[in-house]
Amino acid sequence: MLVRNLILGAAALLVASAAPALAHGPTPKKAEQTITIEATPDEVWAVAKEFGGMADWHPMVEKVETTDGTRTVTLKDGGTLVDSLDDTNEEEMSYSYRLDTPDIENFPVSFYSATLDVNEADGGSEVSWIGRFYRADTGNFPSESQNDEAAIAAMNEFLKTGLEGLKAKVEGGE
């Protein structure tokens, strides 16, 4: 009887200690997209650097309104994201920003920080856009529309589509 109680007690302790490990919530995710553009870094940066100019080149963006380092991005699907500019480095042709106000129903991410960089590459430019983010539902059991996979897909689509739009804008001279 003593051995049985010890085994049951040890099993209960093992289950109880494993429960917090299963209930840790979301972990940060990363999306990174890169594109080569046949234009000088200065030409690319002239278009990309405008924090409020994204609607001019990003196919998923309907309009952007800016106020004091904050931009409100209205997506073509109707969602709205509010970002704050953290840093612009003219010399390195880079800027970083973060999400202040999410719209988890239309963009399944609760928070992100992102950096867009323009660099010289083989007579043209290479532009990278990196985002670090959390899924929309930060609970332990998110729905399929607000889980890690949905957030990763949405962020990669947004970055990739944006870079393709930037390339078309710069190379097409639109």
Q: How confident is the model at residue 20 (pLDDT cuts 50, 70, 90)?
A: very low
Q: 3-state DSSP call for residue 76?
A: coil
Q: From the CB of residue 79, how many other CB atoms can be counted at a distance below 10 Å?
A: 17
Say how far apart CA 167 and CA 37 lie, in whole Å: 6
In terms of Cβ atoms closer than 10 Å to its own Cβ (0-12, 13-18, 19+), residue 53 is middle
Across the chain, mean pLDDT equals: 89
Q: How confident is the model at residue 23 (pLDDT cuts 50, 70, 90)?
A: low
Using N-to-C axis directions, what is the helix angle for 148-172 and 41-48, rounded to 10°?
120
Q: What is the pLDDT of residue 19?
A: 44
Tokens of 167: 């390339």
pLDDT score at 173: 67
| Residue 63 predicted with pLDDT over 70 | yes
26-172 fold: Alpha-D-Glucose-1,6-Bisphosphate; Chain A, domain 4 (3.30.530)
Model pLDDT for residues 103-139, shown as the tens digit of each residue:
999 999 999 999 999 999 988 999 999 999 999 999 9
Average pLDDT over every residue of 145-167: 98
Q: What angle do CA 102, 105, 107 make, to 5 degrees?
A: 60
Percent of the chain whose pLDDT exceeds 90: 82
Q: What pTM was computed for the model?
A: 0.85
Q: What mean pLDDT comes out for the span 10-20? A: 45
Question: What SS3 class is residue 17?
Answer: helix
Half-sphere exposure of 162 (CA within 13 A, CB side): 27
